[in-house]
Amino acid sequence: MTSRILVLASGSGSLLQALLDSPAGEAVVAVGSDTADAFALQRAAEAGIAAFTVSPVDFDSRADWNAGLLAAIRAVEPDLIVSAGFMRIIGAEIIEAYRGRIINTHPALLPSFPGAHGVRDALVYGVKVTGCTVHFVDEGVDTGSVIAQAAVAIEPGDTEESLHERIKVHERRLLVDVVTQMIGAQQ
Ligand code: GRF
């Protein structure tokens, strides 16, 4: 059975691109976003991959948005959901439906610096080493069990942008390795 991977992304999608450029990319069957202007959607189009947008502005409540997202996810029939720069909290209904099959990549060494500003928080705190984490998604924010991590030294003069770009180099490799192992296990 060939695995079916759905990637969720809100931004530039360079992690999505790393997956698409790897052997695991053949298993990526769809890309979903919460915003129509995510460059990740253009990457999907260029790769000839299905894409959907489920935007909160189109729903009356967070619960309705989650229901809409769950419907779009179910239509893809994914074996694995990869959150790669998806900047929305995935609701409990979706977690329950796909528990153990949703992973996320975070640009810090969880449990340190969870949340939307992990790179900045590590820099402001003054740690000397940060990094990235691939973990299972559970009902919390960046609290699911850790699958893999990579350490990245903070260098003098680092800005949030320079540090994040250096972390993403490691993040792309870590995510490709984890996804490759997970779908290899599913074959
Ligand atoms: C990644 O660092 C991810 O961990 C964070 O957002 C970034 C997404 O990068 N949540 P890109 O959009 O894939 O380039």
Predicted TM-score (pTM) of this structure? 0.96
Per-residue pLDDT of 61-113, as tens digits, reads 999 999 999 999 999 999 999 999 999 999 999 999 999 999 999 999 999 99
Q: Is the CB of 104 under 6 A from ligand 1?
A: no
170 is catalytic: no
106, 117, 135, 164: the active-site residue: 106
Strands 146-153 vs 129-136: parallel, antiparallel or unpaired: antiparallel
Going from the Cα of 115 to the center of ligand 1, the distance in angstroms, rounded, reads 12
Q: At what angle do helices 118-125 and 160-186 cross, to 10 degrees?
A: 130
Q: Is the CB of 114 under 6 A from ligand 1?
A: no
Per-residue pLDDT of 164-184, as tens digits, reads 999 999 999 999 999 999 998
Please tell me the distance from the alpha carbon of residue 18 to that of residue 154, in angstroms, as a whole number: 23
Residue 151: closest CA among 134, 131, 167? 131
Name which residue sits closest to atom 7 of ligand 1, judged by CA.
85
